[in-house]
Amino acid sequence: MSPARVQSAGAGSDGAGSDDPFGAACRIGVDGSRVTAYCHNPYPDTDHVSLHIECLPWWDLDSDSAPVAAGPAQTVRLTGRCWKEVRAVWINHRKAA
């Protein structure tokens, strides 16, 4: 079993308010075909985080979770899975409107 590639999309990369700290810190774990991510937001602005999973076999559907609001000083858990192996996992961040 080869390890999955894990990356994090840049928090607050939209350029708006780049001087203000923003973005939950996320830890992603891959255990076989299951993925779990914990995101903690230490900042006062709410961060909407979503989990994206790319599966290795061509027939295994990739998945995107619905955005979850991580409020100030809040930790959220995101989970997902593939039927077989996981190719890549990443988290997207979006500021609350």
State the CATH number of the domain containing residue 54.
2.60.40
- Domain-located, residue 17: no
Residue 11 has pLDDT above 90, yes or no: no
Extract the tokens encoding 96. 């609350």
* pLDDT digits 0-9 by tens, 40-80: 999 999 999 999 999 999 999 999 999 999 999 999 999 99
Rg (CA), the chain: 14
Determine the Cα–Cα distance for residues 67 and 39; give it in Å rounded to an integer: 12
Residue 50 lies in a domain: yes
Euclidean distance between CA atoms 64 and 55, whole angstroms: 11
Domain of residue 75 covers: 5-11+23-95
- C-beta neighbour count of 49 within 10 angstroms: 25
43 occurs within a structural domain: yes
- The number of domains in the chain is 1
Tell me how far apart the alpha carbons of residues 59 and 57 are, in angstroms, rounded to a whole number.
Answer: 5
Structural domain includes residue 54: yes
Expressed in percent and rounded to 5, the helix, strand and coil fractions of the chain are 0, 55, 45
* Non-local CB neighbours of 84 within 8 Å, separated by 6+ positions: 33, 55, 56, 57, 60
The mean pLDDT value for 8-27 works out to 68
pTM for the model: 0.80
Domain assignment of residue 41, yes or no: yes
